[in-house]
């Protein structure tokens, strides 16, 4: 069994030539991404698709961005990643549709042996992370190995997410805990704000047309 196969099966694995080449390829692509100009949005999206195992339409990454492999990460459509995020994707990172990451968000899909004598042998231990659809993770949050975040949930800035977070909640803290559910009152309020914004936009367009 190769190190890559061991990695995919969730076993302890050593770094071999195949994985080193994959790691160096990720460094190459992220170096190109991080060197793009602010006007090269399409190039950034294209590089994200080259980097990840799968990337849906509308995927966009603000540089700088860093990851271990890229080939272990899959993101859905309309994925937005703000400045200075880090993906340690030794394990699989799976991200749904319409997910937003704030600046400096870190996803750590890797761990190391607890026993020090095994740990110093430099084996990695892949542990997957799953982020559902329509999730917003606030800036500087850390998502630890093995965590699943449910659909529509919000993770507060600076949180350290050590355990699974259910769908449709707001959670924050260190360790991250559920603060409250997302309610029908939230939906009504934000739809009202959206209606007002569209109303103001229509008024501005009418004023510009009449000028």
Q: Which two tokens stand for residue 114?
A: 């607890």
Model confidence at 50: pLDDT above 70: yes
Return the pLDDT at 210: 65
Percentage of the chain surpassing pLDDT 70?
A: 96
How many CB atoms within 10 Å of residue 20? Answer: 11
Determine the Cα–Cα distance for residues 147 and 111; give it in Å rounded to an integer: 12
pLDDT digits (tens, 9 = 90+) for 165-203: 999 999 999 999 999 999 999 999 999 999 988 887 776
Active-site pick, 4, 23, 74, 112: 112
Asked whether residue 74 is assigned to any structural domain, the reply reads yes
Asked whether residue 205 is assigned to any structural domain, the reply reads no
Asked whether residue 173 is assigned to any structural domain, the reply reads yes
Asked whether residue 195 is assigned to any structural domain, the reply reads no
Percentage of the chain surpassing pLDDT 90?
A: 90
23 is catalytic: no
Asked whether residue 111 is assigned to any structural domain, the reply reads yes
Total domains in the fold of the chain: 1
Asked whether residue 202 is assigned to any structural domain, the reply reads no
CATH number of the domain bearing residue 78: 2.160.10.10
Return the pLDDT at 20: 95
Domain that holds residue 167: 3-182
Return the pLDDT at 130: 98
Model confidence at 211: pLDDT above 90: no
Asked whether residue 204 is assigned to any structural domain, the reply reads no
Instruction: Kindly report the average pLDDT of the chain as a whole number.
Output: 95
Among the residue ranges 72-81, 99-108, 150-159, 187-196, the one predicted with the least confidence is 187-196
pTM: 0.92
**Confidence band (pLDDT; 50, 70, 90) for 205?**
confident
Among the residue ranges 5-19, 66-80, 92-106, 148-162, the one predicted with the least confidence is 5-19
Return the pLDDT at 54: 97
Asked whether residue 201 is assigned to any structural domain, the reply reads no
């Amino acid at each position: 069994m190769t190190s890559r196969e061991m990695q995919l099966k969730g076993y302890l694995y050593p770094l071999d030539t195949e994985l080193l080449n994959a790691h160096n390829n990720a460094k190459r692509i992220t170096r190109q991404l991080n060197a793009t100009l602010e006007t090269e949005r399409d190039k950034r999206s294209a590089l994200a698709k080259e980097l990840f195992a799968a990337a849906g339409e509308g995927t966009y990454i603000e540089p700088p961005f860093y990851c271990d492999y890229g080939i272990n990460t899959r993101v859905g459509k309309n994925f937005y990643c703000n400045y200075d995020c880090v993906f340690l994707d030794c394990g699989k990172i799976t991200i749904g549709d319409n997910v937003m990451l704030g600046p400096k968000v870190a996803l750590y899909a890797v761990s190391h042996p607890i026993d020090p004598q095994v740990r110093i042998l430099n084996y990695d231990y892949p542990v997957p992370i799953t982020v559902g659809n329509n999730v917003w993770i606030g800036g500087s949050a850390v998502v630890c190995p093995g965590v699943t975040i449910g659909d529509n949930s919000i993770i507060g800035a600076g949180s350290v997410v050590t355990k699974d977070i259910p769908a449709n909640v707001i959670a924050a803290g260190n360790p991250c805990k559920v603060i409250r559910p997302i309610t029908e009152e939230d939906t009504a309020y934000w739809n009202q704000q959206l209606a007002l914004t569209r109303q103001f936009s229509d008024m501005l367009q009418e004023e510009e047309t009449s000028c």
